[in-house]
Amino acid sequence: MEQILMTTVIGLIAGMLGTGLGGASIILWRKPDDKSVSLLLGLTGGMMLSIVLVDLIPASIEHGSFVAAVAGVFLGLIALDLTAYYFKSEKMDDWYIQTGILLGIGISLHNFPEGLAIGAGYLVTTELGFGLAVLMALHNFPEGLSMATALKAGGWSSPKILLATILPGIPMGLGALTGSLIGYISPVVLAITLGFAGGAMLYITTFELIPSAYNFRYTKVQATIGVILGLVAGVLITILV
């Protein structure tokens, strides 16, 4: 019981610290102008796109099958499209806030299977479980950054942004608890879950973040630089961690 509790707490810390630090890093950005918003949206969009294509979707195929991964991706795309439609039908005042909330949902979706990996890792060795927790926290940093960028541009206060970016880390703790209890999960279910998260994040980056980076006047250069740097940074993060 003590081991399960420790695993759950470490999963919570890894998830909440990773996205929370990404959110905290944007708080000092006090007065964003069009060029800086365009650059950061392009940067975070590029990072998320590369992580989805190089990490999440390949991991889905590896754990299950190509068919399961594709099914998960399509389910994720459909789910986020319906969610976005709901927000638009509610006529939310600010597009940036809507995008930030959608990002939070996408981050939460794939934090659960990452937590499962932490829980299962601790069943093998403490070193493996802790190592996975550190890696997941590092992966979550750019995701928290992208979420905070949108919310900051939408005018949210710093405490509200920090809280909002911490919350999507909670499912990682729940995943760690589940992983430590059951010890394993069906490869097909895991593949669909990872694919679903990849599809959700793919929707946000391709239909929301990156297009929005080009919505400002005279900022195409900044947006393009941001996307390119983001793609490179995302690949490096995936390779190094």
Single out the residue of 145, 154, 215 nearest to residue 32, CA to CA. 154
**CB contact set of 130 (below 8 Å; sequence gap of 6+):** 10, 122
Provide the whole-model pTM: 0.69
Radius of gyration of the chain (CA): 17
The per-residue pLDDT for 46 is 87
Domains in the chain, number = 1
Crossing angle of helices 34-51 and 187-204, rounded to 10°: 160
For the stretch 66-75, pLDDT in tens is 998 899 899 8
Q: How confident is the model at residue 204 (pLDDT cuts 50, 70, 90)?
A: confident
Domain around 57:
2-240
Helix (H) or strand (E) holding 129: helix 126-153
Q: What is the DSSP letter of 203?
A: H
The per-residue pLDDT for 31 is 57
Single out the residue of 37, 68, 60 nearest to residue 153, CA to CA. 37
The per-residue pLDDT for 13 is 92
> What's the rounded mean pLDDT across residues 170-199?
79
CB of 130 closer than 8 Å to CB of 143:
no
The per-residue pLDDT for 211 is 85
> Coil, strand or helix: which one is 123?
helix
Single out the residue of 13, 37, 231 nearest to residue 140, CA to CA. 13
Tokens describing residue 124: 């093998």
For the stretch 74-126, pLDDT in tens is 988 898 788 777 766 655 557 788 888 888 888 888 788 778 777 766 766 77
Q: How confident is the model at residue 184 (pLDDT cuts 50, 70, 90)?
A: low
C-alpha 92/C-alpha 83 separation (Å) is 12
* Sign of the torsion angle spanned by Cα atoms 121, 58, 147, 167: negative
